[in-house]
Amino acid sequence: MSKTSVSNETSSMLCLWVEPWGTDHWMRPGEEFTVVTEMEPEESPFNVVVHKQGITVWVNSSNDAEVFDENGISVPCGHQRPAEDVL
């Protein structure tokens, strides 16, 4: 099992995209999420890209991935997504 953590050290909401599935998980300032997949760590399971729309974690395997918050609770797609007029 491989894990990578992403934290929002900004003062605003930040989107964590998980690809290739295109799921979005919104982080409040100070929050940290962990992306987990079944691939072994030595197989380079993740690529992380920072861009204007947020952060994208690419999962480099056919295995599914899950996102968890700091308490180990699963964070579903669309978690804390801002209303359309806020974006």
pLDDT tens digits, one per residue of 72-87 = 999 999 999 998 755 4
For 47-69, b/e burial (b = at least 16 CB within 10 A) is eeeeeeebbbbebeeeeebebbe
Report the candidate in 69, 61, 56, 74 with the shortest Cα–Cα distance to residue 17.
56
pLDDT tens digits, one per residue of 20-76 = 999 999 999 999 999 998 877 667 788 999 998 899 999 987 778 999 999 999 999
Q: Distance (Å, rounded) from C-alpha 15 to C-alpha 38?
A: 23
pLDDT of residue 4: 92
Structure tokens at 43: 């197989």
pTM recorded for the entire structure: 0.83
